[in-house]
Structure 1
Amino acid sequence: MKLTTFIKGENQKLAVQIENNLIDIEETAKKNEWNNIVTDVMQVIEFNQSELKDFEIKVKEAVTNGSAVAIEEEGLIYGPSVTKPHKIICVGLNYRRHADETNAPYPEVPILFNKFDNTLTGHQSEIVIPNVTNELDYEVELGIVIGKKTKNVTQEAALSHVFGYCTVNDLSARDLQMRTQQWLLGKTCDDFSPVGPFLVTADEVGDPNNLNLKTYVNNEIRQNSNTSDMIFSCAEIVSYISQHMTLEPGDLILTGTPEGVVLGLPADQRVYIQPGDVVTVEIEKLGTLTNKFVQESEKVLTNA
């Protein structure tokens, strides 16, 4: 299944893509008088396999018999495809050619840092370039979404604990990131983790370490690689993290970015994201995520 969220009023609502149609789950449930209406993607992530299969069958049956409520694409506002993760954990320098381009040694263990839910936003949303940075960089990343409570899982079993995968742009303000030895400041400005447009269940993805991934800036390709270049595979990452902390359903893991980022270029060739730029990141089987960037002073901000 391909799950997504959309904004209706002030709420994030659940949708499922079936045969190129986006189905409004809440309205479909009301029309069909389903019990226990599901309105939140996080509820689906917590389903067990039987519940997930039953949910999928019900939605597909509604599409087949004409009782599903489709969402009009025009005017649709996407939310992040994962809305309330308990944790957002990121892996740094996890692609060989990315480490090579930045002259960094390959790490011996995964380099971990975190982001917060203020960084989450959706497909087609405008993203403000904060006035505090002049060096905003893109990073296409495969996101792993955990599906069940996970502690001390082996590498062999790790992927069975994954609910699904998504496309993420791990935006990075390099001047803030490199200001100290801690990367957090450059990674956690508002809307620095657009996620989506879909959360795709693991059964539709297959091997997560054999997916093409790309970045375009104003339709010019910048990153073009494959998740097979990861230093630590998805299974290794999930297993490693679970040895140190308990992973919960809905936790989001960003698995690193391949070569082609602005930081990897010679200093005199670096042109970071500018106001008006449109950045698209895409991952095979998961979908294409596009955002336009605006300067902070150009966007009306509200004060409490």
Structure 2
Amino acid sequence: MRLVTFRKGKANHVGAIVGDCVADIVAASRASGGPALPADMIALLEMGAKGLRAAKAAARFALKNPKRGLLVPLELVRLEAPVPCPRKLLALAGNYSSHLKEEGKNARAKREQTPRVFMKPPSTTVNRPGGHIPITRYAHFVDWEVELGIVIGRKAKDVTPRDASRYIAGYTIVNDISERDFRVQKRTKTEDFDKFFDWLNGKWPDGFAPMGPCLTTADEIGDPMNLAIRLSVNGQVMQDANTSGMIYNCAEIVAYISRWVTLEPGDVIATGTPAGIGKIRGIKLKVGDVVRCEIENIGVLENRVAAER
């Protein structure tokens, strides 16, 4: 099932993609006599397997009863990020050997390192499919990073890699937009410590985490460690890889983070990007560029770059 959050009037609703339409699962469940479903993705995920089963039944009802007005053509729907404001938006740095190699770094054995995890402010960085990637007056080198996003479905604390998949509701696409030359205020001296925070702060600008178009549930994603992943800018392919290139797999990532952070339903973890970033090519995003991210069994996330309003 491919779950979405879509705009209906002035409010968000949860739906499911059915063919080339979106089924309003809240209305469909009500019309079919099913359980009351929330219009919020996090609240739906908090219902657990019961909620997902009810959502799937509602989507089937909408499909079988097209005259009930429960289906809306996708082209007429404004999609929001599947989880518009996750409690936590975590991300991994350097989780593809190919990306480390292009930056002139060595991919060490797992026993010699641990995942490199950081956060992006969820309430301001999350951006919707079709939303504009903002270029601010402080922008110097805005770059792209297509990433597979893990969406947590159950509260997870200190889980094992063997059990971690049971806590994953599904997967989405995250474009970890990054400012590579972060300069907001001049300084007379730059130390290595400053460089780290420049890198980190360059992940934080508003709108720098486009996400979507949907949440593909774990039972329909196939093997999350064998998905084609691609990004293009204005039709030119920049990144073309497979999630099998990750150093730490999805289960290992969830297990590791859960040792020191309680993961909650709706939390999103971006799992790192493969080779092909603009920094290495000397290509930065500019106003008018169209960035298209694709991951197998999830879909397409497309955003245009625009001047900040």
- Fold shared, TM-score > 0.5 on shorter chain: yes
Q: How does 1:143-222 map to 2 (within 5 A)?
A: 143-176=149-182, 180-182=195-197, 183-222=199-238
C-alpha contact 1:59 1:68 (8 A) present in aligned 2: no
- Separation of aligned partners in 1, 2:76 and 2:17: 17
Pick closer, same or farther for the CA change 1:57–1:170 going to 2, 3 Å: same
Deviation of 1:74 (Å) = 4.2
- Structure 1 counterpart SS, 2:137: coil
> How many Å apart are 1:184 and its aligned residue?
2.7
1:302 is matched with which residue? none
1:114 matched to 2:130: no
Counterpart for residue 247 of structure 2: 231
Q: Give, as a single letter, the amino acid of the residue that structure 1 aligns with 2:121.
A: F
Deviations 1:180-238 (A, max 9, x none): 31233101111111110110100001221111100000010000001111111111111
Percent identity of equivalent pairs:
37
Range moving further from structure 2, 206-215 or 45-54: 45-54
- Rounded to whole Å, the distance in 2 between the matches of 1:91 and 1:180 is 18
Match of 1:6 in 2: 6
Is the deviation greater in 188-197 or in 120-129? 120-129
Secondary structure of 2:43's counterpart equals helix
Please tell me whether residue 87 in structure 1 is matched to residue 88 in structure 2.
yes
More displaced 10-residue stretch of structure 1: 184-193 or 27-36 = 27-36
Return 31-40 or 61-70, whichever deviates more.
31-40
Please show how residues 1-304 of structure 1 align to structure 2 within 5 Å: 1-32=1-32, 34-66=34-66, 67=68, 69-106=70-107, 108-117=113-122, 118-176=124-182, 180-182=195-197, 183-265=199-281, 270-296=282-308, 299=309
Counterpart AA for 1:94 = N
Q: Deviations over 1:76-100 (max 9, x none)?
A: 3221111231111110000001000
Take 1:129 and 1:201, find their aligned partners in 2: how far apart are those partners?
33
Residue aligning to 2:186: none
Cα drift, residue 33 of structure 1: 5.5
Structure 2: distance between partners of 1:52 and 1:295: 39
d(CA) in 2 for partners of 1:75, 1:52: 25
Tell me the C-alpha RMSD between the 2 structures: 1.8
Cα deviation code 1:158-191 (max 9, x no counterpart): 1111000001100001112996312331011111
CA distance in 1, matches of 2:11, 2:55: 22
> What one-letter code is carried by the residue in structure 1 that aligns with 2:117?
L
In the aligned structure 1, how far is the partner of 2:41 from the partner of 2:172? Answer: 13
Q: Which moved more, 1:101-110 or 1:136-145?
A: 101-110
**Residue deviations 1:13-52 (CA, integer Å, cap 9, x gap):** 2111113321123443454465524211112222222332
Provide the C-alpha distance between the structure 2 equivalents of 1:172 and 1:57, rounded to a whole number of angstroms: 40
Give the SS at the match of 2:229: strand
Conserved? CA contact 1:123–1:195, under 8 Å: yes
Kept in 1: contact 2:4–2:213 (CA 8 A): yes
Conserved in 1, the CA contact under 8 Å of 2:20 and 2:74?
no
CA distance in 1, matches of 2:175, 2:148: 9
Match of 2:188 in 1: none
What is the CA deviation profile of residues 236-263 of structure 1, one whole-angstrom value per residue up to 9, with x for unaligned ones?
1111101111111111001000000012
Q: Please say if residues 144 and 164 of structure 1, whose CA atoms lie closer than 8 Å, have aligned partners that are also in contact.
A: yes
Give, in whole Å, the separation in 2 of the partners of 1:26 and 1:5: 11
TM-score normalised by L of structure 1: 0.91
Unpaired stretches in structure 2, ≥5 consecutive residues: 184-191
Asked if the contact 1:164/1:201 (under 8 Å) is kept, the reply is: yes
Amino acid at match of 2:154: K
Corresponding residue SS for 2:172: strand
